[in-house]
Amino acid sequence: MDLYTGLSAGLLRQAVYTTARMGLFQTFMDKLKARAAASGQTIGFKERTGASVAAGGIAAMIGNPADLALIRMQSDGMKPLAERKNYKSVIDALSSITKSEGVGALWAGAGPTVVRAMALNFGQLATFSEAKAQLSKTSLPANAQTLCASAIGGFFASFFSLPFDFVKTRLQKQTRGPDGRLPYKGMIDCFGQVAKQEGLGRFYRGFGTYYVRIAPHAMVTLVVADYLGWITR
């Protein structure tokens, strides 16, 4: 059952974050398309980038508490028995964090979480939308166009977001030392320390595992959303 540690937090995060980012992206795209059509123009990659980045950032802020609870629940089992919180569910985790650290703690690591979401959304939604637009000019069947575009989106979602995911996790899992200080002051400090002490390659170590975790989910999301008409219609 350890494989499903934090499942309730993961489900809540997806329900809140994914719904928000997909819905906001489509809302922004609809407005951009309407504005472009009114002036006799078409939207391009720049507009898709803006819509995806904005949607990802806003959705990440909304979903950060659930994301934090997921990280805490998954890392709790790796602590010594005396230091474990033994969270029963995502509600218990959120309640415990709020009582012991304050409401503001629910947005710990929000900076890198937002940046990661912006990078992931750019890699997934902007590239998928652009790839779909370009592939529509070819003779490939519609289903093949969607699969190819989703594969492209899945890869770039993983590639662009991994460094920020690494930093986000480091910040959310850090604990105060004997002197009461945290190892990292923030996102930039974490990037700097890791690059200096462990090398730039550290940010992409484990890319294969991360790709297997992110890409299939991104591809399925894109294919289903496209089928339902949420992204390109």
**Residue 40 in domain:** yes
**121 falls in which pLDDT band (50, 70, 90)?**
very high
- Residue 1: pLDDT over 70: no
Of 102, 105, 70, give the one whose Cα is nearest residue 89.
Answer: 70
**Residue 233 in domain:** no
Question: Which structural domain, as residue segments, surrounds residue 64?
Answer: 2-228
Percent of the chain with pLDDT over 90: 55
**Residue 177 in domain:** yes
What average pLDDT does the structure give for the chain? 89
**76 falls in which pLDDT band (50, 70, 90)?**
confident
Contacts 24+ apart (CB under 8 A), 171-175: 171/108, 171/109, 171/112, 172/67, 172/68, 172/71, 172/72, 172/108, 172/109, 173/71, 173/75
**Residue 170 in domain:** yes
Tokens of 128: 């998928």
Q: Give pLDDT, residue 21.
A: 93
**151 falls in which pLDDT band (50, 70, 90)?**
very high
Q: Give pLDDT, residue 231.
A: 55
**Residue 198 in domain:** yes
Between CA 49 and CA 44 the distance in angstroms is 9
Between CA 25 and CA 221 the distance in angstroms is 13
Q: Give pLDDT, residue 176.
A: 81
Q: 32-45, pLDDT tens digit by residue?
A: 999 999 999 988 99
Q: 48-65, pLDDT tens digit by residue?
A: 999 999 999 999 999 999
Q: Give pLDDT, residue 74.
A: 85
Overall domain count for the chain: 1
Give the mean pLDDT of 171-179: 81
Between CA 59 and CA 63 the distance in angstroms is 6
**230 falls in which pLDDT band (50, 70, 90)?**
low
**Residue 217 in domain:** yes
Give the mean pLDDT of 91-97: 92
Q: Give pLDDT, residue 3.
A: 66
Annotate the chain with three-state secondary structure.
Answer: CHHHCCHHHHHHHHHHHHHHHHHHHHHHHHHHHHHHHHCCCCCCHHHHHHHHHHHHHHHHHHHHHHHHHHHHHHHHCCCCHHHCCCCCCHHHHHHHHHHHHCHHHHHCCHHHHHHHHHHHHHHHHHHHHHHHHHHCCCCCCHHHHHHHHHHHHHHHHHHHHHHHHHHHHHHHHCCCCCCCCCCCCCHHHHHHHHHHHHCHHHHHCCHHHHHHHHHHHHHHHHHHHHHHCCCCC
Of 219, 227, 230, give the one whose Cα is nearest residue 29.
Answer: 230
We report the CATH number of the domain holding residue 129 as: 1.50.40.10
Angle formed at CA 190 by CA 186 and CA 196, multiple of 5 degrees: 150
- Which range, of 151-155, 204-208, 227-231, averages the lowest pLDDT? 227-231
**Residue 20 in domain:** yes
Q: Give pLDDT, residue 86.
A: 87
**232 falls in which pLDDT band (50, 70, 90)?**
low
Give the mean pLDDT of 86-112: 89
**Residue 62 in domain:** yes
